[in-house]
Structure 1
Amino acid sequence: MEVLDLLEIESEVTLPKRYSTLSVKEMEVRVQEIKSKFGDRLFIPGHHYQKDEVIQFADARGDSLKLAQICSQMPDAEFIVFCGVHFMAETADMLTKPDQKVILPDLRAGCSMADMADIDQTEIGWEKMQEIWGDTILPLTYVNSTAAIKGFVGKHGGATVTSSNAKKMLQWAFTQKERILFLPDQHLGRNTAFDLGIPLDQMAIWAPLEGTFEYDGNFEDVKVILWKGHCSVHEKFNLKHIENLRKQEPETKVLVHPECTYEVVQASDFNGSTSFIIDTIKHAESGSRWAIGTEMNLVNRLADENPDKQIISLNPFMCPCLTMNRIDLPHLLWSLEKLEEGEVVNQIKVPEEVSEYAILALNRMLERS
């Protein structure tokens, strides 16, 4: 990327100084005023990991795919101000009508996991995989990926997966081809494949930065090719956190997301998607104790919403997702005030040639979910 491009992006995301002089109350009042003024013309989806200062204004809460699907059911919403990260806004754009505008309050709100698999790396890796295994591989991508990666997968006969339906989608994929390429999160791929009975020694890791495989066995034995990517939040939980908790609070149950490492998932009491985590806590017995391995904003919110249970983070020194937290109250207000002035800022628009195949990948999943 050229220096001028970087300067252009920086100028788009830098807030006017006046937003630093406004009180939280002043900003909250203005956001509510604009929401009331636009009515059904404005829809604000908020991901579970968003800050409380933002999520309070969300018209719907959920994970990335659920929110995009809800957006597609809001035909009167001219403007969708997506409080999440870039790939989520892309999916919302692909599933909504062409005349609806999807806005990301801060363009710096990306996803480190999604960024670990770009389309150029994927094309190079795919070519090498074809040289080794030929036409025996079906690609699957976690929905936490860019539109370009979703498009690549759709073009090659594959589908998207969520943490809720990954097991079902891998089962389907194995009816199509002998092997699976799973990207960009190696941990969700490994944990899901292992649950299906595939041993670890039949899983190879493709390291895109090095352009090599991390695998010591016979390539003919490989059933799953894992892209070397991860969630920077969920990889921060480790076995020592669980071991220390078992010693100090043996009655506390450990509940983690399958984006955590294989070792952490195996040592936990329960693992599952964000929705699974929320539902498990919601229906847990009063007085029960839980250590949760997922994003800190959600853990804190679950603790606040379930005062009859003791809820802590599995990692006591965990920080919230830095990129998700780019969306804050000042950026939300700024994007809304721009709309009030008749200006659309930070619109997310997926090219039609990418969207066509990406939607195909999404639909293959939705047909089986």
Structure 2
Amino acid sequence: MSATDSLATGPTSLTEYRALPSEELDLRIRRAKAALGKDLVILGHHYQRDDVIAHSDYRGDSLQLARIAANLREAKYIVFCGVHFMAETADILTSDDQMVILPDMNAGCSMADMADEQEVEECWEIITERFGESIIPVTYVNSAAAIKAFVGSRGGLTITSSNAARVFAHALEAKERILFLPDQHLGRNTGAACGIPLSRMCVYDPKEMLLEYPHGEADPRVILWKGHCSVHTKFEPRHVRQAREAYPGIRVLVHPECTYETVQLADENGSTDYIIRAVQNAPAGTKWAIGTEHNLVNRLAQEHPEQFIVSLNEMICPCLTMNRIDRPHLLWSLENIIAGTPQNQIRVSPNIAGAAKVAIERMLNIS
């Protein structure tokens, strides 16, 4: 069956798409994109696999893709090659007559799943009873729309790893304390970068509904939610030491979702965009051990052969949920759009979307 025939006959089952040879997948994706023209935009997160990124109209980190989504006007269909919370953000920021589609609904985020609305409500009740109205809630964009709405309705805002320090500074001007969720490591590393001692940070455990004081019991300025990224926490201090021993003169560059101890041992830390720019701007011959998602590290190594680039921990796998988006799912999504049967539309209910949009726009206005 040719690419033209497939568009005429309509989409088949996902099982049949998975059986297609690589060349036909690429050909039919290109054909579908041409057929949809300006009605379609494909957004791809930097952590996506290379064969999907190759078909993206825009690639970026969470902040970049949020900005792009907010400014899309002509596209009727926005196919988001990322994970669920990113597609929710795109739906929140686009108009009602635009459709956001996630090629695989199983592409989620374990970190985002570590905070649900009921748990956050319980936390808020406990900490406001103890600390009064001195707290502003701040959530990482790696969170569900309902959590963003909770934050937005209580005067708070969202944050990305690209603008974390700026948002923290803004939040601490507004209130004495921050409740930061769901990633304790980004919160701890950002707080430390803003000059807040570890002794002024505590951790809220949603399972035990208790505040923990791993750094000493002092009056907290930052209350960290007990959540983490299952990929970035696998880059440990021992990996930093091993990289330096194996490759003398190597620079260690990690994402701030890594643990505080790993970040402190690294030469540099920063967002996905920061990592990309650091490599792009480095002179030929620079050696890097990079602690972030494998797809991005491997892509940087391929795009910059003039530098030596390895993963800080070569034994870990790529982000499994991000990697659920593949070419069979992408092609299936595109051909269903053409057939008039779009699948996996992401819809955030208006009552949640309104408050979540407030939280996101507060962030965008100061970023």
Q: TM-score range by the shorter chain?
A: over 0.9
> What is the CA–CA distance in structure 2 between the aligned matches of 1:203 and 1:95, rounded to whole Å?
33
- Contact (CA 8 Å) 2:239, 2:312: kept in 1 or not? yes
Please give the residue correspondences for 1:1-369 in structure 2 after superposition, counting only pairs within 5 Å.
Answer: 16-215=14-213, 221-369=219-367
Counterpart-to-counterpart distance in 2, 1:132 and 1:264: 32
**CA distance 1:217–1:296, change in 2 (3 Å):** closer
How far is 1:195 from its partner?
1.2
Q: Hey, what's the Cα distance between the residues in 2 that align with 1:36 and 1:27? A: 14
| 1:250 Cα offset (Å) | 2.3
Task: Give the partner amino acid of 1:146.
Answer: A
Distance 2:55 2:199 in 1: 47
Q: Is the 8 A contact 1:44 1:81 kept in 2?
A: yes
What amino acid sits opposite 2:41 in the alignment? F
| Unaligned residue ranges in structure 2 (runs of 5+) | 1-11
Closer, same or farther: CA 98–231 of 1 in aligned 2, 3 Å: same
Contact 1:35/1:42 (8 A) holds in 2: yes
Q: Match of 2:366, SS?
A: coil
- 1:21 CA displacement: 2.2
In the other structure, the counterpart of 1:6 is none
Q: Compared with structure 1, are the counterparts of its residues 239 and 217 closer, same or farther at alpha carbon in structure 2 (3 Å cutoff)? A: closer
Distance 2:197 2:254 in 1: 21
Aligned-residue offset at 1:249: 1.4
> Aligned with 1:367: secondary structure?
helix
Partner deviation per Cα, 1:128-157 (whole Å, 9 max, x = no partner): 111111111111011111111111111111
Q: Decide whether the 8 Å contact of 1:159 with 1:362 is kept in 2.
A: yes
Residue type matched to 2:322 in 1? M
What letter corresponds to residue 231 of structure 1 in structure 2?
Answer: C
Taking structure 2 as the reference length, the TM-score comes to 0.95
Task: Confirm or deny: 8 A CA contact 1:257 1:272 kept in the other structure.
Answer: yes
Aligned CA distance change for structure 1 residues 54 and 216 (closer, same or farther; 3 Å): closer
Normalization by structure 1: what TM-score?
0.94
Instruction: Single out whichever of 16-25 and 254-263 deviates more from structure 2.
Output: 16-25
Counterpart residue type for residue 296 of structure 2: L
Quote how far apart the aligned CAs of 1:16 are.
3.2
71-80 vs 300-309, which moves further: 71-80
The alpha-carbon deviation at position 211 of structure 1 amounts to 1.4
Q: List per-residue Cα deviations over 1:67-119 (Å, max 9, x = no partner).
A: 13212322111111100000000110011110000000000000111111111
The letter for the 2-side match of 1:271 is N
Equivalent pair of 1:45/1:82 in contact (CA under 8 Å): yes
Could you tell me how far 1:247 is from its partner in structure 2? 1.6
CA–CA separation in structure 1 for the residues paired with 2:321 and 2:215: 37
Q: What is residue 9 of structure 2 aligned with on the other side?
A: none
CA shift digits 1:178-229 (9 cap, x unpaired):
1110001100100011111111111110011221121268866111100001
Q: Percent identity, please.
A: 56
- Runs of 5+ unmatched residues, structure 1: 1-13
TM-superposed CA distance for 1:350, in Å, is: 0.7
1:66, CA displacement in angstroms? 1.5
Identify the range of structure 1 (99-108 vs 241-250) with the bigger mean alpha-carbon deviation: 241-250
Which portions of structure 1, spanning 4 or more consecutive aligned residues, are displaced by more than 6 angstroms? 216-220
Contact residue 62 and residue 160 of structure 2 kept, 8 A: no
Give the partner amino acid of 1:352: P
* 8 Å CA contact 1:137, 1:178 repeated in 2: yes
What whole-Å deviation, never above 9, does each CA across 1:15-35 have from its counterpart, x for those lacking one? 532123210111111110000
State how far apart, in whole Å, the 1-side matches of 2:214 and 2:22 are: 56
Q: Aligned residue pairs: how many?
A: 356
Task: Quote the RMSD (CA, aligned, Å).
Answer: 1.4
Q: Relative to 1, partners in 2 of residues 1:249 and 1:106: Cα closer, same or farther, differing over 3 Å?
A: same
SS of the residue corresponding to residue 343 of structure 1 reads: coil
| Corresponding residue SS for 1:82 | strand
Measure the CA separation in 1 of the matches of 2:45 and 2:238.
Answer: 29
Cα separation, 2, equivalents of 1:218 and 1:262: 16
Q: CA deviation at 1:254?
A: 0.1
- Are residues 216 and 228 of structure 1, via their aligned partners in 2, closer, same or farther at CA, if it must alter by over 3 Å? closer
Distance 1:130 1:246, change over 3 A: same
Letter in structure 1 aligned against 2:303? E
Provide closer, same or farther for how the CA distance between residues 161 and 350 of structure 1 changes in structure 2, counting only shifts above 3 A: same
Note if contact 1:69-1:92 (Cα within 8 Å) is conserved in structure 2.
no
- How far, CA to CA, are the matches of 2:264 and 2:19 in structure 1? 49
- Measured in 1, the distance between the counterparts of 2:69 and 2:299 equals 24
